[in-house]
Each structure stands twice: as C-alpha cells, then as structure tokens.
Structure 1
Amino acid sequence: MPGSSLWLLPPESHPLNPILKNHITTTLPAAFPREAASSPRVVPHFFPAHVTLTSAIPPEVYGDDPQGWLDRLPFPGGTETGTGTGKERRVKVRFERIASQDVFYRRCFVKVEFDGVREVAGVARAAGVLGEEVKVGADGEVSFGEETEKWLSSWREEFGPHLSLMYGNEPILDGALREVTKIVQQAGIKLRDETEEHGKDSDGLDGWDGGVIWLVPTDKSISEWGKPIATRKI
C-alpha cells in the first residue's frame, strides 16, 4: 500500500482491544484458514484492530516531524464550546454488520456507521492527501472544502468506514460470513444491523468513543504495521 495511513484505534484500556486482537490473530484464522491467508500457501496476516481514516499520505506531508504534524490536525473532540458544557463532538465508532468485498484489505470486516467518524476522516483526508483547508468555527464545528466533501461522499458509497478482521485473496461465501457474525457476537460484540433484524436489543460492546489515532507507514510490510511513527489520543 503506497504512502502512510491514519488509523483510529480503540482507547488503550477499552475492553474491545483484547477481544479484537484475539479474533484477528487466533480465532478467525483458526476457523477460516483459507480465507484468512493471502493465498493457500501463506500464513494469515496479523494487524492491529483499527478503522482506516485515510491512506496514501505522502511522507513529505509530515516530513521529519510526524508527531508535530499529527498534533496540529484539527480533529474533533470534547464539546463544541470547549468548556465541557456544549454539544459533545467526540468521535463515535459504532458497529453495523459483518461484510466482505473482493479486495485484499477488505476481505472480511465490520462495517462502521459513517456519521460518527465523518469529521475525523474528513480532517485526515484533507490534511494528509488533498492539501485542502479545514475550517473550524468558534463552536468547534468543522467544515470542509469541495474536494474533501466529494471524497467523503465517494468513500461512503464505495466502502466507507470499517474495521478489518481478515485480509486475503480468497472469496468469503455467505455461509462463512454468517459464521463470522456468530463468532463475533458470541465474543460479546454487538452489531446494530443484526440486532435490528432480529427485533430485539442485546447487551454487548457496539464500538467505542474517542480513541487513539496512529500514523502508520503502510508502504512497509504488513508485519511492521504495528509500529506507528506518531500517535494521538482524541
């Protein structure tokens, strides 16, 4: 994958971290060894659980100060007033359903609600790839330029925010997707679309608020993607 990427991870102490790590590195590769490998001859690829905000960031964008660059980005967080009394503007990751696309990096993933990550993804794309100004009002509201708005619209239509569970080249059939859904739910993860389909509410972890943003050099091998060059809590 060319360039670097900005990822959104759960807060460090969030109970989803061990669950997602176990599923990505152990449970799903054991249950689906063919689908979880890049080919039948290659072992599965392991990677930190994350929602990709944008990719293909040229290294010259952040230069020799990746942490300083990341710290300056106007990501949403806290409240609109900045005093703790206004409308909450925190990033919200909410799980919808298990899905698959015929793309190596989206072989099996949890689809994530768009609205809860729209602003943070827009900031990431505008600053990291498009070089477009992001305006932040006195109330903390973020507004984007034309190119960023166009990208957000196309991103949402094509695949949108998601949390990958398996990378690979092998197709995943509907039966396997249903089994992944069952495994994920049994581990205590709540999927909104599945809950609505069955007409009842359920207990479980349906996502997270805030989180940690990683700047990752994804032009390196997947085995090195667990080593961010800058991080920031939001």
Structure 2
Amino acid sequence: MPDSALWLLPPPTHPLHATLSTLISSTLPSTEPSAASDRVSPHFFAPHMTLTSGISPSLYRDDPQAWLDSIPWPSAKQVRVRFEGPRVQSQDVFVRRCFIKVRLDGVREIAGLARAWGVNGQEDVVPESKTDEWLREWPRVYGPHVSLMYGDMPLDDDKLVEVTELVEKAGILLSEKNSKCVWSGWDGGVVWLVETGSNHIRDWKSIAKRELS
C-alpha cells in the first residue's frame, strides 16, 4: 500500500478554502502556456499545509478514521496558520514549484504531533527526541507552506511577480503594505489523512478526516 500524509486544510466555511481552491484549479493554471508540457501541466489538489508525510499504512491498517481520531489534536484556537511574505516562492522541487510560506510558531505543535504519531512512533514531542530534532530541521529543509502549483519547472522572477499579484488580488495578505488584502491565514482547520504514494496526483485520496474543535 502507498504511504500517506497528514494535511491541514482551512475550515470548509472559511473564505480561504474557496479562494485557494480557485487559485489552484483555475486562476493560476490559466497563466501557463497553452501548449504546456508535462513539466508545467496543471495539477489539481485540495488547498492544504502538509503536516508530515511518510506515514506507513501499517499504523492505521483497515481503520484509518479510528487511528486519526486517536491522536490528541490541539484545539482549533491553538492552531494558527499565518502566511509569510512578501511574495510567493518557488523551488526546484515538484511539490514546491509555487507556494506560500507559513510561519512556524502557529503550527509547530500540530506538526510535531503529526510527525511524532505518524512517523516516529512517539505520543509527544519530547526534548532531544527524533521529533524535536525534526522540528528544528524542518524550517530549513522543507518548512511549513501552502502549495499553489506543482511541477518540475521552477518559476522565474517575472512569473513570481505575476503570481504574487494574482494571489494578492484574490485577497490573500502577503505584504503588510497591501491594505486591500484581507486574509493572512486561518485558525484551526480540518486534518486529512491522504494516500499520496501514487505517481498520479489524481489518484491521491483522503481516507480519513478530523475537524479541529
């Protein structure tokens, strides 16, 4: 069976859920060349911040919902996803072709818990543990972020400026200087357990969900 990941999505009633979904599925793909190759063809996925990947199906076996519910998730008011600008970013990594950085402080607890339970066989983030070490390295080697586009071809500076303008036009706050933007992130959200082992993103699927309360 394919490995899985834990994603954190905006609450379904939060305006950012619809806004990010539109950017990912429609607005940003429309800026790509009409004769796009596989390297830049659009990939559609739910708006999310990945908490951790590399989760073995042996953990949840035939009852993924029970496993997800057994994790002592923090309350919604303890989770604060906040975007970090001043613009969108791009890296030469398929799932980070175009993304918005997220500040670590508001998601450190929930990401650490996801890593501890999902990968390291721990029930808490103990000092000097594997999870504690991962949390120190995470911002440097991967870091919390919300992806906007996947692909093998990074965006150049001109494209990043264009995409940043579209993201801010949609109301997402990346720079404090832009007073017209209204959403700097979201609180709480819904945790998805997603099978992501397939090479085809269209085959990725959520197998359990847990709304933070």
Q: CA deviation at 1:144?
A: 5.7
Q: 1:130 to 1:33 in 2, by over 3 A?
A: farther
Q: Distance in 1 between matches of 2:181 and 2:160?
A: 21
CA RMSD of aligned residues (A): 1.9
What does residue 142 of structure 2 align with? 159
Q: 1:157 to 1:37 in 2, by over 3 A?
A: farther
What does residue 84 of structure 1 align with? none
Match of 2:124 among 118, 134, 153: 134
CA contact (8 A) 1:24 1:47 kept: yes
Aligned length: 207
Q: CA deviation at 1:159?
A: 2.5
- Of all paired residues, the percent bearing the same amino acid is 52
Equivalent position amino acid for 1:75 in 2: W
Q: Distance in 1 between matches of 2:190 and 2:128?
A: 25
Q: Distance in 2 between matches of 1:63 and 1:145?
A: 29
Q: 1:148 to 1:44 in 2, by over 3 A?
A: same
Q: Are residues 1:31 and 2:31 paired?
A: yes
SS in 1 for 2:12: coil
Equivalent position amino acid for 1:16 in 2: L
What does residue 105 of structure 1 align with? 95
Q: CA deviation at 1:38?
A: 4.0
Q: CA deviation at 1:171?
A: 2.1
Unaligned regions of 5+ residues in structure 1, if any?
A: 79-88, 136-142
Larger-gyration structure (1/2): 1
Match of 2:170 among 176, 187, 193: 187
Question: Normalising by structure 1, what TM-score?
Answer: 0.83
Equivalent position amino acid for 1:120 in 2: I
What does residue 22 of structure 2 align with? 22
What does residue 95 of structure 1 align with? 83
Question: Normalising by structure 2, what TM-score?
Answer: 0.90
Q: Deviations over 1:35-93 (max 9, x none)?
A: x86425xx311100100000010100111111011001111115xxxxxxxxxx52110
Q: CA deviation at 1:33?
A: 3.8
Equivalent position amino acid for 1:160 in 2: G
Match of 2:192 among 214, 218, 226: 214
Q: 1:132 to 1:124 in 2, by over 3 A?
A: same
Match of 1:223 among 185, 195, 202: 202
**Could you list the runs of 4 or more consecutive aligned residues of structure 1 that deviate by over 2 angstroms after TM superposition?**
200-203
Q: 1:151 to 1:179 in 2, by over 3 A?
A: same
Deviates more, 1:47-56 or 1:11-20: 11-20
Unaligned regions of 5+ residues in structure 2, if any?
A: none
Equivalent position amino acid for 1:233 in 2: E
CA contact (8 A) 2:192 2:209 kept: yes
